[in-house]
Amino acid sequence: MTLRTLRKIRNFTDFKLRKHLVERLILSKIRYCDIVFYPLSKFLLARLQRLQFAMASFVTCKYVSSISTILDLGWLPTRGCILQLRNYSLFKAIVKALYSDNWPSYLNLQVSKPIRHLRSNVAPRLYIMFHLYKAPFSILQP
């Protein structure tokens, strides 16, 4: 569902429902993809900012062109938080890879143990375990 289709029901919904729909259907997709959103060119960052202003305009039923309205809705502005959201999602994925039982086994992270004790080895270092599997969607011929 896109913002264009949501605009058709704008007059039949209240503020809370419009905000809920935008957060669940559109903003969640932006947050889901924030790891790959960095580095962004200024052009693409401006497009994301325009999308966020359009979402805020839909929710408030008036034209929005200021960051203060976006902050009043409880959303983070696009320009200042793409890097922070990306880092947060990256750290969340690392913690899941290290400690979650539901994480796929072919994407495991391992903590490397240094041979010598040095000050630079205080922080744990992670490396990816590569497994060689057959292609999961390959067709087996008789």
User: E strands, the chain, where?
Assistant: 109-112, 125-128
Residue at 62 is within a domain: yes
Mean pLDDT by 10 residues, the chain (142 residues): 83 91 86 70 84 90 87 76 72 80 74 72 64 50 47
Query: What pLDDT is stored for residue 142 in this prediction?
Result: 47
Query: What pLDDT is stored for residue 58 in this prediction?
Result: 92
Domain range for 112 is 3-128
Residue at 122 is within a domain: yes
Residue at 134 is within a domain: no
Structure tokens at 63: 């034209």
Written as one letter, the residue type at 3 is L
To the question of pTM greater than 0.85 for the whole model, the response is: no
Q: Is the peptide bond before 124 cis (omega within 30 degrees of 0)?
A: no
Residue at 136 is within a domain: no
Residue at 89 is within a domain: yes
Provide the domain count of the chain.
1
